[in-house]
Amino acid sequence: ANLTAALAPARVELVDESTHHAGHAAKKGLPAGETHFRLLVVSEHFRGLNRVQRQRLAHQTLADEMAGGIHALAITALAPGEKGAG
């Protein structure tokens, strides 16, 4: 909800890749479950920002969700019309 409200994305795709990393959580003392995600966000808010600025904006927007036990989040942040934006 925070992502939608803050970035008004044209496209969002969230893929749970936790099953590919099942052993990682246990090794780090984390509970098993949904800990590894891949996120694609396409938003006009990323236009004119470099990759680091886009990542920072996305992470700030998702701060509450990240605090809830997500171990790894790979973010692809694109502006509409960029390659991969769809």
The CA angle 64-85-80, to the nearest 5 degrees, is 85
pLDDT in tens, the chain (86 residues): 588 999 999 999 999 887 765 555 455 555 555 578 899 999 999 999 999 999 999 999 988 877 776 778 899 999 999 999 98
Contacts of 64 (CB under 8 A, 6+ apart): 2
Can you give the pLDDT at residue 31? 54
Q: How crowded is residue 50: how many other Cβ atoms within 10 Å of its Cβ?
A: 9
